[in-house]
């Protein structure tokens, strides 16, 4: 959420954002994300992952609550499914993502610049994100994790080393899943990235790599210094800064 926290309604809590300001059922970002999942055809996958709620008691009560839960879930699913308009599906699935010389306005030539953008990660606007097509994991530096106020206890442990260009390896501090939102409203796309956390800092706060770029269907252009991606509201973009 971008707005000033003190000016938000403190009584309404959103489970998607993990923050106050509005109820989960009124969350526009969650609605966009559900639409995105439906459009990507991933809903079946998510439904399969969802297990019936089990409160650990046998007998009629729990059977009834499971039935209620299934009924409720179906209702929510139908409601949300039908709220996806045909126009949005068309815009998303048949959008041409194109670049032309206008996209390069403001870029000084010749340049040899890396693609460095800004995006929302978790609840934070993160600048200096290096976009790198060349590697398979998203990186986040521990100095920046600390700056975001995320305690190290939230990291999942990993013992898989990361290898650099020169063959040197580091053991990451862990991994953390955080939502990343690209672009400006209304042309935004969100995905959940699994960041590998590396001790220390760098001139970049995070490095966004293949899995996230693929999930966003992002197309990068070094020449135009831009990233573009389809959204239900048209083609979104992130300019290199
Ligand atoms: Zn929300």
pLDDT digits over 61-83, tens only? 555 566 666 666 555 555 555 45
Q: How far is the CA of 38 from the centre of ligand 1 (A)?
A: 18
Q: What is the dihedral of CA 104, 108, 114, 118, to 10 degrees?
A: -60
Q: Give me the CATH number covering residue 184.
A: 2.40.70.10
Q: How far is the CA of 234 from the centre of ligand 1 (A)?
A: 22
Before 186, cis peptide (omega within 30)? yes
Residue-range definition of the domain harbouring residue 17: 5-83
97 shares a domain with 40: no
pLDDT range class, residue 201, cuts 50, 70, 90: confident
211 shares a domain with 149: yes
C-alpha–C-alpha distance, residues 105 and 119, integer Å: 21
189 and 131 in contact (C-beta within 8 Å)? no
pLDDT digit string, tens, across residues 158-178:
888 887 766 778 889 999 999
127 shares a domain with 66: no
Regarding predicted confidence, which is higher, 3 or 87? 3
Least reliable range by pLDDT among 7-21, 70-84, 177-191, 224-238? 70-84
For the cut 90, the answer to whether the pLDDT of residue 236 exceeds it is yes
pTM confidence score:
0.63
For the cut 50, the answer to whether the pLDDT of residue 108 exceeds it is yes
Q: How far is the CA of 62 from the centre of ligand 1 (A)?
A: 30
In the chain, the percentage of residues whose pLDDT exceeds 90 is 30
For the cut 70, the answer to whether the pLDDT of residue 45 exceeds it is no
129 shares a domain with 182: yes
Of the residues 83, 106, 138, which one is the last residue of a structural domain? 83
Q: How far is the CA of 232 from the centre of ligand 1 (A)?
A: 18
69 shares a domain with 122: no
152 and 237 in contact (C-beta within 8 Å)? no
Could you give the number of structural domains in the chain? 2
177 shares a domain with 62: no
158 shares a domain with 50: no
Of the residues 34, 59, 83, which one is the last residue of a structural domain? 83
Q: How far is the CA of 81 from the centre of ligand 1 (A)?
A: 18
196 and 158 in contact (C-beta within 8 Å)? yes
pLDDT range class, residue 33, cuts 50, 70, 90: confident
104 shares a domain with 164: yes
97 shares a domain with 174: yes
Mean pLDDT of 180-189: 90
38 shares a domain with 94: no
226 shares a domain with 135: yes
Q: How far is the CA of 123 from the centre of ligand 1 (A)?
A: 10
* Residues listed for the chain: 241
Least reliable range by pLDDT among 41-50, 91-100, 223-232? 41-50
79 shares a domain with 93: no
Task: Name the β-bridge partners of 21.
Answer: 9
Of the residues 63, 83, 103, which one is the last residue of a structural domain? 83
């Amino acid at each position: 959420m971008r707005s000033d926290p003190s000016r938000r309604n403190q009584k309404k809590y959103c489970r998607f954002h993990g923050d106050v300001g509005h109820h989960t059922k009124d969350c526009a970002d969650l609605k966009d994300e559900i639409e995105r999942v439906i459009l990507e055809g991933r809903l079946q996958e998510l439904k399969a992952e969802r297990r019936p709620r089990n409160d650990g008691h046998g007998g009629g009560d729990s059977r009834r609550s499971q039935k209620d839960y299934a009924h409720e879930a179906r209702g929510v699913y139908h409601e949300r499914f039908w709220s996806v308009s045909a126009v949005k599906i068309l815009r998303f699935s048949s959008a041409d993502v194109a670049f032309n010389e206008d996209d390069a306005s403001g870029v000084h030539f010749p340049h040899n610049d890396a693609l460095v953008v800004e995006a929302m990660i978790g609840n934070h606007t993160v600048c200096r994100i290096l976009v790198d097509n060349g590697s398979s994991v998203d990186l986040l530096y521990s100095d920046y994790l600390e700056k975001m106020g995320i305690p190290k206890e939230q990291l999942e442990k990993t013992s898989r080393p990361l290898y650099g260009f020169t063959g040197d390896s580091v053991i990451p501090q862990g991994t953390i899943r955080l939502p990343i939102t690209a672009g400006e409203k209304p042309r935004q796309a969100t995905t959940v990235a699994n960041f590998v956390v590396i001790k220390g800092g760098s001139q970049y706060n995070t490095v966004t790599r293949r899995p996230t770029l693929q999930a966003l269907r992002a197309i990068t252009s070094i020449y135009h210094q831009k990233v573009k991606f389809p959204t239900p509201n048209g083609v979104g973009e992130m300019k290199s800064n």
